[in-house]
Structure 1
Amino acid sequence: MSKTLQAARLREQVAAILQGAGSAAEEARTVADNLVLANLSGHDSHGIGMVPRYVDAVAEGGLQPNTAMRVQLDAGTLLALDGRRGYGQVVGMQAMELAIARARELGSCIMTLAHAHHLGRIGHFAEAATAQGLVSIHFVNVLSRPVVAPWGGGDGRFGTNPCCIGVPLAGQPPFLLDFATSRVAQGKMRVAHNKGERVPPGHLIDEHGRPTDDPGVVVVPQSNGLFGALMTFGEHKGYGMAVACELLGGALSGGGTWHRPADQARSVYNGMLTVLIDPARLGTQDAFEAEARAFVDWLRQGPPGAGFEGVQVAGDPERRARAARERDGIVVDDATWAELVAAGAKVGVAVTD
């Protein structure tokens, strides 16, 4: 079962819960807007379903409301920033705004952000950069219970470690590649488990290292108290990308990497390496605009393959989902809604549809 709600209503409800958990009104609205935008974009894994975890993280002291990022190093085109365990949707945008301004001034910027609580959908940050005409590259690690197995391994050793690349395209929406290095995001398994769905083969192993189609193995403890694990995309290639995200997003940023037994903490920390490039300052703006546009047009002119309506580029599915869900509403499964109601009750906020 499920219910369908309009985005505006969900923003109100989520903001109220976050305020109840200690956030100032502006911060609550910022985080709520970000989460609902993820739902609108078709990424329910990064949407309102995260709120119960945020409420728990605040209660355990791992997530610090009303916390701003801090500059650790400012060396022109090099920025080292500390998120100080603040809401990632807030400190992440503070970091991006500083890096974007620096890239527009100097032509490029390499920025690291450490100790941010869950950044959410990384594509949100790339969209902010491409809107300013900048190329945006992000490597992110995840410090939480390790849910992804290395290629050839039988248990979780690291997080879903996303990578994102945004490229502005003259006269049309940007190319926006945003993906977890696991076959699917952990949050998508939570959504599937809540809906009582199974998943295709090749996505998961159970707590014994055997293939399974049950998303619950990475959502709730199994009979022996252990969890299963997600697989990386692209076999050894996706595994290599996941390790790169851990080394660049985690080690290089100073935020740390995962190398300890799992715990039950609800907090989720991200480290991020961001590289911003201004094509205008690089001296290739005209050729860049012409060639990028020509290539994307060339892709779209190709005939559709069997079972497809046409060729898409990264970012198209999210834009299509936003239009449809803004019009028709956002479908929330009953289990996710019940978790949202319970999260509200923990902070004295009544959640109604």
Structure 2
Amino acid sequence: MTETPKDPFAAAASFNAGVYGTSIRPVQADRLAEAVRRLLRAAGSEEGEARVVADHLVEANLRGHDSHGVGMLAMYMPAIVAGLLRPNQHATVIGESGPFLSVSGGSGYGQVIAREATDLAIQRARRDGLAVLSLRDSHHIGRVGSYGEQCSDAGLVAMAFVNVVTRPAVAPHDGTRPRLGTNPICIAIPATQATPALILDFATSAVAVGKCRVAMGKGQEMAPGLLLDSHGEATRDPGVMFQDPSGALLPLGGHKGFGLSLMCDVLAGALASAMPGTPAHQDSGRVMNNMFAIVFDPARGGNAQWAADLDDLVAYIRDTPTAPGADAIQMPGEPESRTRGQRLADGIPLDGATLAMLDSLGRECGVELAELLA
């Protein structure tokens, strides 16, 4: 198996396009999911876990979040070999008090652990109207919007704050060196008769580290205003995030994104999990996520007509003159839904570096993937 690099970010960016070149190859979602399942089973996952993780990763690709898609396997597989990611773990309740629920993941696949923990929070919110979830000791949980969708599908509102504990990637506002993680936030609102579910899911950095990896795979520069090099100077080179010493991502919206990122680390790290993103917990080679989430039943929130009021608000917002080049005002989650439909029909576009990574992992695991990826 691929040697575990010192830097987990570098693991996911260490493959070059090789024989695949820089062209984009579309792969159908079901075939890609089967390829990932085979890799995961070969790496020790039981069938159920392989299916959950594979479906989560491919769903991220389908929704246009390639930074959290199948390319993450380049980080996961070496982490298994190093004992930093433990297959076949499940969410374990370690504390309960009133609406509060504490869950540990045993360094297992975050896609499994966070899904199970969210299910526990949903059960409690349905019973009591409210659940306050603290999730700790979980490997990378992937696209946080997935757990928001899990709650909205159950008719519940969710607010989730996540910290990323690994080598820091984001500079504080007015800083030149990385100190924070990309620390995502998700807010999910269930659908009404007139309005699809609203899923707001974003990193508190100006861009995700994974998007730098994707840009490297495509041989592209980043947009201006997103990155600093190791000297604290502005750059468009995504490669600075995978060097030693590394560059830094800028926070989203300057001081506002910095404040949100810090609060994610306070809520999910310092308060919920005893694992803030400080040097004592930044074990290079692993990526841990902790999550603080509030899940509640909107029907018990004091406004029996919340759905009608939500519909009125969304209709008012949609009825806005659009800027040149824009067709319509889009609600949170709509771009992802549209991209999902397109990629289900046309295939998921994979760059040469990602194809090379899957091919390499397959050969190392003794799994033939060429037919599925053709």
1:250 aligned partner: 269
Deviations, residues 255-310 of structure 1 (Å, cap 9, x unaligned): 40122289784321000001011111223232x11111111111112121112111
Q: Distance in 1 between matches of 2:131 and 2:120?
A: 10
Q: Which residue of 2 aligns with 1:110?
A: 132
TM-superposition CA deviations, 1:101-155 (whole Å, max 9, x none): 1001000110100011101000000001011111100000001111111111111
After TM superposition, give the deviation of residue 88 of structure 1 in Å. Answer: 0.6
The aligned residue for residue 239 of structure 1 is 258
1:186 aligns with 2:209: yes
* Residues 251 and 261 (structure 1), Cα distance of their counterparts in 2 relative to 1, 3 Å cut: closer
Deviation at 1:340, TM superposition (A): 1.6
The answer to whether structure 1 residue 340 and structure 2 residue 362 are counterparts is: no
Task: After superposing the two structures, state which structure 1 stretch, 330-339 or 73-82, moved more.
Answer: 73-82
The aligned counterpart of 1:97 is 119
- Opposite residue 333 of structure 1, the aligned amino acid is D
1:65-104 aligned at under 5 Å gives the runs: 65-104=87-126
Q: Structure 2: how far apart are the matches of 1:264 and 1:104?
A: 37
Q: Following TM superposition, by how much is the alpha carbon of 1:336 offset from its aligned partner in structure 2, in angstroms?
A: 1.1
Match of 1:185, as an amino acid?
A: A
Q: Give secondary structure in 2 for the equivalent of 1:19.
A: helix
Residue 268 of structure 2 aligns to a residue whose secondary structure is helix
What CA distance in whole angstroms lies between the structure 2 residues aligned with 1:343 and 1:207?
Answer: 31
CA distance in structure 2 between the aligned counterparts of 1:345 and 1:178, rounded to whole angstroms:
35
Aligned twin of 1:302: 320
- What is the root-mean-square deviation in Å for CA atoms of aligned residues? 1.4
SS of the residue aligned with 1:331? strand
- The answer to whether the 8 A contact 2:217-2:351 is kept is yes
Answer yes or no: is 1:282 the counterpart of 2:301: yes
- Listed one character per residue, the Cα deviations across residues 64-86 of structure 1 (whole Å, up to 9, x for unaligned) are 10001111112231101111111
Q: How does 1:145-294 map to 2 (within 5 A)?
A: 145-171=167-193, 172-218=195-241, 220-221=242-243, 225-260=244-279, 265-286=284-305, 288-294=306-312
Residue 302 of structure 2 aligns with an amino acid whose one-letter code is: G
Aligned pairs, how many? Answer: 348
Measure the CA separation in 1 of the matches of 2:302 and 2:254.
38
Q: In structure 2, list runs of 5 or more residues that go unmatched.
A: 1-22
Where does the alignment leave 5 or more consecutive residues of structure 1 unmatched? Answer: none
SS at structure 2 position matched to 1:114: strand
2: CA distance, partners of 1:252 / 1:117: 18
Instruction: Determine the C-alpha separation between the residues in 2 that align with 1:205 and 1:102.
Output: 44
CA distance in 2, matches of 1:227, 1:283: 49
State the distance in 1 between where 2:365 and 2:278 align.
33
| Aligned partners of 1:146 and 1:262 also within 8 Å | no
Measured at CA, do residues 39 and 262 of structure 1 come closer, stay the same or move farther in structure 2, by a change above 3 Å?
A: same
TM-score calculated relative to the size of structure 1: 0.96
In 1, Cα distance between equivalents of 2:191 and 2:323: 25
Alignment match, 2:85: 63
- CA gap 1:187/1:82 in 2 versus in 1, 3 angstroms: same
Paired position in structure 1 for 2:17 = none
% identical aligned pairs: 43
- How far, CA to CA, are the matches of 1:82 and 1:262 in structure 2? 16
Q: Does the aligned pair in 2 maintain the 1:169–1:293 contact within 8 Å?
A: no
- One-letter code of the match for 2:145? G
* CA spacing shift, 1:285–1:51, aligned 2, 3 Å: farther
Q: Give the partner amino acid of 2:266.
A: L
Secondary structure, aligned partner of 1:80: strand
Structure 1 position 11 matched with structure 2 position 11: no
Is 2:127 the counterpart of 1:127? no
Distance 1:261 1:191 in 2: 30
| Aligned partner letter, 2:226 | H
1:244–1:141: structure 2 CA closer, same or farther, 3 Å change rule?
same
Provide the rounded CA distance (Å) in 1 between the counterparts of 2:232 and 2:183.
Answer: 21
Contact 2:163 2:277 in 1 (8 A): no
- 2:342 matched residue in structure 1: 324
Q: Is the 8 A contact 1:253 1:272 kept in 2?
A: yes
- Give the aligned residue type for 1:143: V
